[in-house]
Amino acid sequence: MKIPILGTGLSGMVGSRIVELLSDKYEFADLSFNTRIDITSVDQVLEVFKNSEAATVLHLAAKTDVDSCEDDKILTEEGPAWLVNVEGTRNIVEAAQKYHKRVIYISSDFVFDGTEDFYTEEDVPNPVNWYGVTKYEGEKILEESGISHTIVRLAYPYRANFPLKSDFVRRIIEAGKENEEIKSLTDHFFTPTFIDDFAKALDILLQKELPGIFHLVGSQTLTPYEAVGEVFETFGLQGNIIPITRAEYFRNRAFRPCRLALKNDKITKLGASMCSFAEGLIELKKQLKEQ
């Protein structure tokens, strides 16, 4: 018998792949605009929780466009980023308190300031843009709630296929196929995550009901310039890769943390296999050939 899970954002790029890979074990119920549920409406959230037998809530829904979130900053608590990422999370947590459910909250590497060589789950967040602020506020709501919960941080997810939205890997592939010019950062570091690995690691947390914070991220930190090179090599693409600095690339855009090297030792010690970017691309290429 499948285990019922209440989820938010399960129709998105990450959530839909979780459903695809784990639906043999879990019966997912989605709270999203696709199912006409607005998580910023406390009444709608309470009604769904009241009628659900699920003991666990998987909370993925968020406004994630970093530049758009920064535009919301001037509106503070009235802006969409705050309403979705903070108040929406508060509604989920308060409903979970009332109906005795556990919450797994999907957070972000952007809670960190990018000034350290790497980050573990024990490091204290210090967000430098509005998106990061709102995600960290969500973490604090959970930590202060007293309910059973797990905080999961994700970084730069990618997958083989999702027609509704292109991740950074598929954008690179398309640009390479069209022989387009690609401007790519040489002084910025990130930790890409193959969504399939994320879903399988999440399954471990669902089964073991482990509390605390976990970094469910890939096993390789690199620059975008290096990442484009890896994609081109794996897919046999050619194009003009133009090195560019953060100062030029992010001009007039939201400030980004410089070095987001997250460590995943905590989840890998529990048996999760989080591949390097090079390994993830090989599996992605294989899946694309099978379509």
pLDDT tens by residue, the chain, 291 residues: 899 999 999 999 999 999 999 999 999 999 987 888 899 999 999 999 999 999 999 999 999 999 999 999 999 999 999 999 999 999 999 999 999 999 999 999 999 999 999 999 999 999 999 999 999 999 999 999 999 999 999 999 999 999 999 999 999 999 999 988 999 999 999 999 999 999 999 999 999 989 999 999 999 999 999 999 999 999 999 888 999 999 999 999 999 999 999 999 999 999 999 999 999 999 999 999 887
Report how far residue 259's alpha carbon sits from residue 118's, in angstroms, rounded to the nearest whole number. 8
* Neighbouring C-alpha atoms within 13 Å toward the C-beta of 197: 28
4: closest CA among 19, 26, 25, 22? 26
Categorise residue 36: left if φ over 0, alpha if ψ from -120 to 50, beta otherwise: left
CA dihedral of 253, 255, 259, 262, whole degrees rounded to 10: -100
Total Cβ atoms within 10 A of residue 22: 19
Predicted local confidence at residue 73, as pLDDT: 96
* CA-based radius of gyration for the chain: 19
For the chain, where are the E strands, in sequence order? 3-8, 26-31, 56-59, 102-108, 149-154, 157-158, 181-185, 193-194, 212-215, 240-244
Predicted local confidence at residue 145, as pLDDT: 96
Total Cβ atoms within 10 A of residue 53: 9
Report how far residue 222's alpha carbon sits from residue 12's, in angstroms, rounded to the nearest whole number. 26
Q: Which amino acid does the sequence have at 236?
A: G
Report the Cα–Cα distance between both ends of the chain, in Å, rounded.
Answer: 30
Report how far residue 232's alpha carbon sits from residue 221's, in angstroms, rounded to the nearest whole number. 18
105 touches 62 (CB < 8 A): no
Predicted local confidence at residue 174, as pLDDT: 93
39 touches 84 (CB < 8 A): yes
Report how far residue 275's alpha carbon sits from residue 157's, in angstroms, rounded to the nearest whole number. 12
Report how far residue 51's alpha carbon sits from residue 31's, in angstroms, rounded to the nearest whole number. 13
Report how far residue 204's alpha carbon sits from residue 271's, in angstroms, rounded to the nearest whole number. 8
| Top-level class of domain 3-290 | alpha beta
Q: Which amino acid does the sequence have at 243?
A: P
Structure tokens at 129: 């843009």
Predicted local confidence at residue 77, as pLDDT: 95
Q: Helices (DSSP H) in 129-210: which residue ranges? A: 130-145, 168-177, 195-208
216 touches 193 (CB < 8 A): yes
Partners of 257 in beta bridges: none
- Tokens 């309470």 correspond to what residue? 46
Structure tokens at 288: 């694309």
